[in-house]
Amino acid sequence: MAKAVSVRGLTKAFGARTVLDGIDLEVEPGEFVALLGRSGCGKSTLLRILAGLDRDVEGEAEVPGTVSIAFQQPRLLPWRKVWRNISLGLHRPDGRAIALKALEEVRLTDHADAWPLTLSGGEAQRVSLARALVREPDVLLLDEPFGALDALTRLAMHHLVEDLWIRHKPAVLLVTHDVDEALLLADRILVLDEGRIVATHHVDLPRPRRRASVVEQRTRVLADLGVDVEEAA
Amino acid sequence: MTLSIAGVATRPKTATPVQTRKFTLPLRWISPVALVLLWQLASSTGVLSPDKLASPLTVAQSAGELIADGQLVEAFAVSITRVFFGFLIGGFAGVVLGLVSGLSRWGETLLDPPVQMLRTLPHLGLIPLFILWFGIGEEPKLALVAAGVAFPLYLNLHAGIRQTDPGLVEAARVLGYSRIERVVHVVLPSAVPQTLVGLRIAFGTAWLSLIVAEQINADAGLGFLINNAREFLRTDVVVVGLVVYALLGLTTDALVRLLERRILRWQKR
Ligand SMILES: Nc1ncnc2c1ncn2[C@@H]1O[C@H](COP(=O)(O)OP(=O)(O)O)[C@@H](O)[C@H]1O
Ligand SMILES: [Mg+2]
């Protein structure tokens, strides 16, 4: 079966600064992969390349299927109603019906005719997710989509994303710097540091996962990020 | 005064609550009314000679007469027509040039430098050239209004397009928008608020240009009415003309504000 994402020897430099340094990465269809790393280590750059937004690279990055993306900021068009934000670019005559269905999945049907600037941060991010999913992507790229949300909203979003993933089964590449988030959601965790993948963890815990069940593995992932939990505590 | 160039860019203040409004609106009228009364007093007592400035009552009376005998309406129609066509020509030029230079790299490379250089030139200073080029008929007047309109529209439209959030364009690309859809749904709407600011400035300069242009050998229009009145020392008619200019400026300003409120409904209030 073809891979959802296959990257070989991907190198990206901005001027003299090498941001991605020979990345190899394969993602199976329907697999949930989390990309962990400190700020500035090249996570967004990798996602932008996979989304086709940056083609000035060395090496290979193949994404054969359709790609969709949600960013840390919802990036909705403030001058288009919520439902239009979802249906625009789909090129489907039944755009509104499709948008309403997608809004139902993120429980925002009531806001279909609202202006985006009237939404809360969490609501806007849910619209952004609906907009990404309505394209039925083979690969869903999520660049810290919960980073700007408060802790409670973030918890709700974790459940929502897992739900949607189970229902639609796209391959997901989730960028985050929250270890717990990665452990709760991902089949596989990649640790990125200075443009290289320095560690890979398979998470075989049964779903739905609870916080307590991930504690043990958390310590090992944190160690790969250079954080010694015993010492920190 | 709505006709100044610099003062027009301010956005309307947020609405005051009804209660304070009821209270402050009459208060705000105290000093203007007092000034008019003072003016009338100065005229009645002979302190202010009618050769310098006619009394408010005379002005009102003359306004009535000028309306009744059709002179004011005719002059008004001529002036409005000048601004209308000047605005049409200048608006078309400003918008087309702004779009080309905002949306295409080559357009910007070729168009923007000369326009940015020309904008430093006060366009009212072009009158001698326009007279040489177009004579002293309607053409130089239209050209002056058009020049006054084209620059603010170009500059604000161009700046508005350039200010588009690249993050939105990027998202639109990944989400499958065609190039045209990106322009129509992302780039142009994000340039609209700035363009409306340009529109208000353009109206301000249009009226200013008209007033100046109508000083050149006008044989009809508000400028003619005013100049003619000057020769006969009719300060009352001069003031009537000035008031009409001011009202025109106020009206277009209010229209643009209305337009803003309709078009920018999506903005958080
Ligand atoms: N367009 C760009 N030009 C120059 N440097 C960039 C550009 N985009 C990103 N970088 C640099 O690349 C590095 C990685 O950025 P990024 O991928 O955004 O990191 P993060 O892992 O936090 O998402 C950073 O040091 C950033 O400054
Ligand atoms: Mg990032």
* Ligand 1 close to Cβ of residue A14 (< 6 A): yes
Check pLDDT > 50 for residue B134: yes
User: Would residue B40 count as lying in a domain?
Assistant: no
pLDDT of residue B65: 94
The distance of B167 to chain A (nearest Cα, Å) reads: 7
In a domain, B39, yes or no: no
pLDDT digits (tens, 9 = 90+) for A51-79: 999 999 999 999 999 999 999 999 999 99
Confidence of residue A226 (pLDDT cuts 50, 70, 90): confident
Our count of domains for chain B comes to 1
ipTM exceeds 0.90: no
Pairwise CB contact (< 8 Å): B266 & A116: yes
**Would residue B268 count as lying in a domain?**
no
User: Is B208 part of a structural domain of the chain?
Assistant: yes
Domain that holds residue B156: 53-263
Q: What is the 3-state secondary structure (H, E, C) of chain B?
A: CCCCCHHHHCCCCCCCCHHHHHHHHHHHHHHHHHHHHHHHHHHHCCCCCCCCCCCHHHHHHHHHHHHHCCHHHHHHHHHHHHHHHHHHHHHHHHHHHHHHHHHCHHHHHHHHHHHHHHHCCCHHHHHHHHHHHHCCCHHHHHHHHHHHHHHHHHHHHHHHHHCCCHHHHHHHHHCCCCHHHHHHHHHHHHHHHHHHHHHHHHHHHHHHHHHHHCCCCCCCCHHHHHHHHHHCCCHHHHHHHHHHHHHHHHHHHHHHHHHHHHHCCCCCC
CB contact under 8 Å between A75 and B268, yes or no, is: no
We report the CATH number of the domain holding residue B175 as: 1.10.3720.10
Residue B29 falls inside a structural domain = no
pLDDT of residue A1: 64
pLDDT tens, B91-130? Answer: 999 999 999 999 999 999 999 999 999 989 999 999 999 9
Is residue B28 domain-resident?
Answer: no
pTM of the predicted model over 0.90: no
Q: Which residue of A79, A89, A135 is in closest CB contact with B266?
A: A79
In a domain, B62, yes or no: yes
Asked whether A56 lines ligand 1 (CB < 6 A), one says no
- CATH fold of A5-75+137-232, please? Rossmann fold (3.40.50)
In this predicted structure, what is the pLDDT of residue A210? 78
Q: Determine the pLDDT at residue A153.
A: 83
In this predicted structure, the answer to whether residue B12 has a pLDDT above a threshold of 60 is no
In A, minimum Cα distance to B171 occurs at: A75
Residue at B23 is within a domain? no
Contact: A69, B189; criterion CB under 8 Å: no
Reported as a single tens digit per residue, the pLDDT across B22-58 is 556 688 889 999 999 999 999 999 999 988 999 999 9
Q: Is A175 helix (H, G, I), strand (E, B) or coil?
A: strand
Residues of A in contact with B168 (CB under 8 A): 75, 77
The alpha carbon of A17 and the centre of ligand 1 are apart by a number of angstroms equal to: 10
pLDDT in tens, B179-208: 999 999 999 999 999 999 999 999 999 999
**pLDDT surpasses 80 at A135:** yes
